[in-house]
Amino acid sequence: MTTGLVWHERYMWHDTGNMFGPPALQQFIQPLPHPERAETKRRIKNLLDVSGLAARLTPIEPRAATEAELIRFHDPAYVQRVRAVSEAGAGQLAVRFGATPIGAGGYDIARLAAGGGIALCEAVLEGKVDNGYALVRPPGHHACASEAMGFCIFGNVALAALHLLAARGLDRIAIVDWDAHHGNGTQSAFWRDPRVLTISIHQDGCFPPGSGTIAETGEGPGRGFNLNIPLPPGSGNGAYRAAFERVVLPALHAFRPQFVLVASGLDAGAQDPLARMMVTASGYRWMARSLLDAAGELCAGRVAAIHEGGYSESYVPFLCAGIVEELLGGGMVVADPFAGLDATPYQALQPAQADVIAQVESVLLNAPFRTALA
């Protein structure tokens, strides 16, 4: 396999500052760096480099998404506001839940993140690489048409899908979001659009507040083309595997995408400070492998993973390396130093988790593209 890697030093310069959390925390605790900071992502790149994996990857140069590309999803007034705050030096973009600061130059970096996903999709479509990973920041899956949210400024994955539709003439794209938080922004981008099947597996009731229920399935022509799998806190490899076997993979086979995009958040990992899930590197590897196998059958293996959240400085690099190794075709150069977590009690599918998955299975059985479901 040839696997592309999108990376740019400038991604590390997106400045989120050191004010995170509710005011009551900030009053008494020495300011902490924002969780969505460069360090985790730089440590991923470092591990890819020192392990020799990066040398096996094809570098894909990102470019800044143009304003015309951004407004395929975003409100032009919102794009101008992001630009104005960035040009003014810094500021808080989020109108709800705080937490989405931007620093000087952040507008161009956010456009480079969106453009990184687009560049990767183009490289895959042109056959320059078979698949790839875009190690971008800021992340994107909470960003809405006219609202920054949850560290996300522009909807990187949504914009990549819109590019494949608008500029490359594709008409069926699947997005699988394994970030521990609900991919609400991506969901909103295709809420009424049957060309894009959006699937989010996330921790029930984590972030954004109140978002990501099973009942959110899309509207109008898009009805049935959005699947949410809100798993209970504490879900691990067994729950994620069952969600894939019973929902994600059957949905992909029924929908028959021409391209699979992954919103690759690594905060479902067992050591994450911003979520309460228990996925290990072997769990992320298994999910990556099963998506690659499905994409191999359905769309010539066209898979582009675009980075989202993931905040454990010690674990996230190993989760990402595992995914990248699967993209490269398997094998194990970078073993999980925390593989002992695989044997944590309750890693196997639990009844409360199976119950949620069964509910989503029945939503899937009524999906408009269900005819191919045997």
Residues assigned a catalytic role: 142
Q: Which does 21 bind (CB under 5 to 8 A by kind): Zn ion, ligand 9RB, none?
A: ligand 9RB
| Structure token pair of residue 189 | 């981008």
Among 77-85, 93-101, 211-219, 287-295, the segment contacting ligand 9RB (CB under 6 A): 93-101
CB of 88 to Zn ion, least distance (A): 28
Distant-in-sequence, close-in-space partners of 246: CB < 8 Å, separation ≥ 6: 357, 358, 360, 361
Distant-in-sequence, close-in-space partners of 96: CB < 8 Å, separation ≥ 6: 147, 149, 208
Q: 240, 317, 324, 311: which is closest to 20 by C-alpha?
A: 311
Closest residue to bound Zn ion by CB: 309
Site for ligand 9RB in 181-200 (CB under 6 A): 181
Q: How far, rounded to the nearest angstrom, does the alpha carbon of residue 340 sit from its chain's CA centroid? A: 26
At residue 190, the 3 state secondary structure works out as coil
| Pattern 261-280, ligand 9RB, x by CB under 6 A | ----x-x------x------
CB of 100 to Zn ion, least distance (A): 13
Is there a contact between 256 and 172 (Cβ–Cβ < 8 Å)?
Answer: yes
Q: Does 117 bind Zn ion (CB under 5 A)?
A: no
Distant-in-sequence, close-in-space partners of 73: CB < 8 Å, separation ≥ 6: 145, 154, 155, 158, 159, 162, 189
The CA-atom distances, in angstroms, between 334 and each of 51, 289, 343 are: 7, 16, 19
* Member of 194, 309, 317, 322 binding Zn ion (CB under 5 A): 309
Looking up tokens 């920054």 gives: 148
Among 41-49, 72-80, 95-103, 108-116, the segment contacting ligand 9RB (CB under 6 A): 95-103
Looking up tokens 């290990």 gives: 280
Q: Does 207 bind ligand 9RB (CB under 6 A)?
A: yes
Site for ligand 9RB in 151-170 (CB under 6 A): 151
Q: Does 265 bind Zn ion (CB under 5 A)?
A: yes
CB of 366 to ligand 9RB, least distance (A): 28
Name the site residues for Zn ion (rule: CB under 5 A): 179, 181, 265, 267, 309
Name the site residues for ligand 9RB (rule: CB under 6 A): 21-22, 97-99, 142, 150-151, 179, 181, 207, 209, 265, 267, 274, 308-309
